[in-house]
Structure 1
């Protein structure tokens, strides 16, 4: 399943205003934007340094646990781009890790919607839907790693 199809499934089952998929590149310690619902604001290929949100990184990438921010204040505390997020009408966030069959964190799904749009049931379902992104992210991470080695 490609990442656009994952987005459509997330929209259908949970709902989302902003959806991104970030690939984790541990060798470079960056998150690489693999897919976005808003390419004008969040272009594919953009990268975030892992140092930006160390607590978030530890939780989602290393501990492989979802992050849930139910309101605008929780979004402000974690995301440097919180003003842009608010401009898009988003005030609630779910980040879930995408984990390969061998237990490697491939990246994350980021679902954002209006403040208080999500609750524990949506977090649980997002974690289940993250499995749909495993094949596409596996392929992308391998390709990005190969390109890095060639550089």
Structure 2
């Protein structure tokens, strides 16, 4: 198994930063870029019960703006990631085409392989992350590794759930 050590120093600093969820997810994206290589990384929030996901972060916001709602099913991807809570690997363009309606845009970015993993909190999927690169870049073991890393995204997704529900996080207090 690959070394999946996520630096506590890196994530402590990222989670403490004021620029959320950007700081925390950017740190996660840097780890993914180092471990897997990637051209595109997106993070989605999901409320169980439908196939609509809300993209809350993208490393290519010009092509994949945030926030944006995207229908993610019914597909094998949606069944595997959102409902069965398992990591998914689509190593070829054929799997990408079957999983994502926007496959033409994905392919235009040079992506033909995808890793996706659910983000789980309190026994519920609250979101998902997808990492994409050139066709043939990934295998199922990579998707499994990604699945072991998603804990780092939980705070960003929980904060996303609070804000739209009208429960903003408390203002920071000067503690000097």
Pairwise TM-score range, normalised by the shorter structure: 0.7 to 0.9
- Structure 2 distance, partners of 1:84, 1:137, is 25
Deviations 1:92-130 (A, max 9, x none): 011100011x11111000010000101123112111111
Give the alignment's TM-score, normalised by structure 2.
0.76
Mapping for residues 60-79 of structure 1, pairs under 5 Å: 60-79=81-100
More helix by share: 1
- Structure 1 distance, partners of 2:102, 2:137, is 19
For 1:140, which of 134, 156, 160 is the aligned residue? 160
Aligned length: 145
* Displacement over 4 Å in runs of 4+: none
Task: Tell whether the 8 Å contact from 2:75 to 2:99 is kept in structure 1 after alignment.
Answer: no
What runs of 5+ residues in structure 1 fail to find an aligned partner? Answer: none
- Counterpart of 1:91 in structure 2 is 112
- Structure 2 distance, partners of 1:28, 1:121, is 28
- Structure 1 distance, partners of 2:61, 2:75, is 25
| Larger relative contact order (Cα-Cα within 8 Å, sequence gap ≥ 6) | 1
- Counterpart of 1:112 in structure 2 is 132
1:25 and 2:47 are equivalent in the alignment:
yes
The verdict on how the C-alpha distance between 1:81 and 1:89 changes in structure 2, with shifts beyond 3 A counting, is same
Secondary structure of the residue that 1:8 maps to in structure 2?
helix
Give the alignment's TM-score, normalised by structure 1.
0.88
- Structure 1 distance, partners of 2:130, 2:99, is 13
Deviations 1:1-46 (A, max 9, x none): 3111111111111111100000002366520001001101110111
Q: Which protein has the larger Cα radius of gyration, Structure 1 or Structure 2?
A: 2
The verdict on how the C-alpha distance between 1:122 and 1:55 changes in structure 2, with shifts beyond 3 A counting, is closer
Secondary structure of the residue that 1:42 maps to in structure 2?
coil
Secondary structure of the residue that 2:64 maps to in structure 1?
coil
- Counterpart of 2:12 in structure 1 is none
1:4 and 2:26 are equivalent in the alignment:
yes
Note the aligned Cα RMSD (angstroms): 1.7
- Structure 2 distance, partners of 1:71, 1:135, is 32
What runs of 5+ residues in structure 2 fail to find an aligned partner? Answer: 1-14, 16-23, 168-176
